[in-house]
Amino acid sequence: MNFVDLEIRKAKPEDCIRIRELIQELADYEQMPNGPKIDYKTLQRDGFGSKKPLYECYVAVVFGEIVGYALYFWIYYSLGRKALHLEDLYVTPFHRLKNIGSKLFSAVAKKNFNENGQFLDFSVLSWNPAETFYLSKGSKDLTNDEDWQMYRFDRATLQALAENIADSEYVATEIGNFNAIAQLAKEALPHTRSKYEVKKLKSVSDTEGSNSSGARCLAVFSGNGEVVAYALYCYAYSTWEGKSMYLQEFPQWDVGNQIRLCLLRALAKKARDDGCSRIDFWKKHQLEDILLLSSHGAKNLTHSEMWHLYRLFELKK
């Protein structure tokens, strides 16, 4: 292919009809039993209908036809950091092996690093031959390297958790000033971050306590007003189900399961009330987490569907 004929550009509202067709192609390719449930009008509304879209998207255009797309959204951290999560990258079979996927991936990665994103996250099915492509770009498979596993609370589980929120011994409150959780965030840093991330992470002294507009936090306070645990989340996007929630930081087991359950129920109620289809999150595989999460309906998609977490820390020249 003469790459003069290829254009990588930001998606427009009128592209959503074609993007929805490609989302269906991707679902068929991945042989997912529960395919996309949203239509192109939902894509238009969620990506272009407000000043704070739930996602952004690049498309690959060849001779005027959209032949691929890369859909992504921002995720946020308590210590004033952000990163991009690549939700979908797909190129039609006829146009593969022509460097189009590579150009779409590079467009998203460049946006992330140009806007000071710490890294680019994305998930890949372990049987997908694209694994070789992502590794060649310098990405790390954190599921293989550090046993990060993907969990999900689906819509039915969110409803059940939200209905039981009154049973919680503690109360979780939404907070907007992250200074209250800065110390807890620093203490958790060695335990909850990837070894690659900790190695590359710069000093947090200049960013602690900041609150990016997309980051939200639920916290549990002690009797004297100190934060004892928090959960950090943002709104995300699923090309299968639309608006969802991405849980980025959640307390370790040593804060006590009653406090963690309080936060889970509060998150579920927030997600349900805000029209989210699910909550997705990644955690390192630990027995205490398995017992708590599975007993309250979380599905381990790394086990059941073989999803792996990949992370790109820098864009190669």
Q: Tell which residue, 283, 286, 278, has the closest CA to residue 248.
A: 283
Residue 215 burial class via C-beta count within 10 angstroms: exposed 0-12, middle 13-18, buried 19 and up? buried
Report how far residue 22's alpha carbon sits from residue 93's, in angstroms, rounded to the nearest whole number.
Answer: 11
Distance of CA 162 to the CA centre of its chain: 22
Tokens (6 digits) for 175: 């907070």
Distance of CA 311 to CAs 15, 189, 302, Å? 28, 17, 16
Tokens (6 digits) for 270: 């927030």
Catalytic residue among 134, 151, 235, 310: 134
Distance of CA 287 to CAs 114, 127, 283, 293, Å? 39, 26, 11, 10
CA angle 267, 273, 277 (to 5 degrees): 75
Catalytic residue list contains 77 = no
Supply the residues annotated as catalytic.
134
